[in-house]
Amino acid sequence: MEFRHTSVLLEESIEELRVRPDGIYVDGTLGGGGHSWEICSRLSEKGRLIGIDQDAAAIEAATRRLKEFKDRATIIRANYRDMKTELGKLGITSVDGVILDLGVSSYQLDEASRGFTYREDAPLDMRMDQRQPLCARDIVNGYSESELYRIIRDYGEERFAKNIARRIVTAREQKTLETTGELIHVIKAAIPMKARATGGHPAKRTFQAIRIELNRELEVLEQSIDDMIDLLNDGGRICVITFHSLEDRIVKDKFRQNEHPCTCPKEFPVCVCGRKPKGRVVTRKPIVPSAQELEENKRAKSAKLRVFEREKNHGQEKGKMTVEN
């Protein structure tokens, strides 16, 4: 199956990135190369794009798509959490922009063998990086009932999480759960028929939770944003597209912390912690897809774009002066 993915908020994110022809840009979630192609098309011979993805199919597809740009585009198979290290290998210590599109690709969802889909019966996999030994089958059959309950409740925001976790544990005592179909059968039995009639596929939230846990998606995001902001040159921007409320909250909070990092109590007349702002939040409210995009691509429904701009010596905290220690 050919790798394909419709880039969400494509025009908006490229516009907010403000690509300079001779700049250096990083696409940390390369996918099929949609955002990267738009960036490369705006670069001069001096400009450079580094595309990073952990999915072998994405690397292959993006390599073909970006072939016309030759040395302007460098493609690396890695997790974006290793961005700083991978750029260091190329002798790059700072960049003019970073973009992340955190959505699961259409290819990953539609290719049944990858185990992301709840619409076909397939092996329980869900690995974004197939070099990883742990897969969804290991979580479903190996996590305790309390651990399953926690991830389904927190990452899936599923109101029937407790019953689903209990049913999974009961089912696997009889037989190891091997496929998406077997797991779906258990999930459906755990949700009242009346509730199954609304809100989309009954397994959607549980599958999302297992995927997020398996690929450490929230952990990686939270641990990476500060490093990516540190990589930015003055005036450089980071654009992050999220598809989950917990992802969006992490991005929102991290951006705010980098704009207002002071940890001194409010009653202190001056700042003594020495934490200096790194820039400003460009998007006070997230940018969301237009009505036309939503009509053309239903998977864009929950997308939100937030943007942060690095600024040298960004203004002091309101009402405070920094005191050098």
CATH number at residue 139: 1.10.150.170
Out of 214, 243, 262, pick the residue that ends a domain: 214
What residues have CB less than 8 Å from 136, skipping those under 6 apart?
Answer: 115, 124, 125, 126, 127, 210, 211, 214
Q: Are residues 53 and 14 in the same domain?
A: yes
Out of 190, 214, 238, pick the residue that ends a domain: 214
Question: Is 251 inside any structural domain?
Answer: yes
Q: Are residues 224 and 302 in the same domain?
A: yes
| Domain count across the chain | 2
Q: Which residue has tokens 């996590």?
A: 143
**HEC-encoded secondary structure of the chain:** CCCCCCCCCHHHHHHHHCCCCCCEEEECCCCCCHHHHHHHCCCCCCCEEEEEECCHHHHHHHHHHCHHHHHHEEEEECCHHHHHHHHHHCCCCCEEEEEEECCCCHHHHHCHHHCCCCCCCCECCCCCCCCCCCCHHHHHHHCCHHHHHHHHHHCCCCCCHHHHHHHHHHHHHHCCCCEHHHHHHHHHHHCCHHHHCCCCCCCHHHHHHHHHHHCCHHHHHHHHHHHHHHHEEEEEEEEEEECCHHHHHHHHHHHHHHHCCCCCCCCCCCECCCCCCCEEECCCCCECCCHHHHHHCHHHCCCEEEEEEECCCCCCCCCCCECCC
Q: Are residues 93 and 35 in the same domain?
A: yes
Low-confidence ranges of the chain (pLDDT < 50): 315-325
Out of 198, 214, 230, pick the residue that ends a domain: 214
Q: Are residues 187 and 140 in the same domain?
A: yes
The residue among 115, 205, 104, 111 whose CA lies nearest residue 151 is: 205
Q: Are residues 293 and 236 in the same domain?
A: yes
Domain of residue 149: give its range.
133-214
Question: Is 122 inside any structural domain?
Answer: no
Q: Are residues 193 and 224 in the same domain?
A: no
Q: Are residues 148 and 231 in the same domain?
A: no
| pLDDT confidence of residue 298 | 85
| pLDDT confidence of residue 72 | 97
Q: Which amino acid is at 3?
A: F
- Confirm if 308 and 281 have CB atoms less than 8 A apart: yes
| pLDDT confidence of residue 315 | 47
What's 57's domain CATH number? 3.40.50.150
Q: Are residues 225 and 101 in the same domain?
A: yes
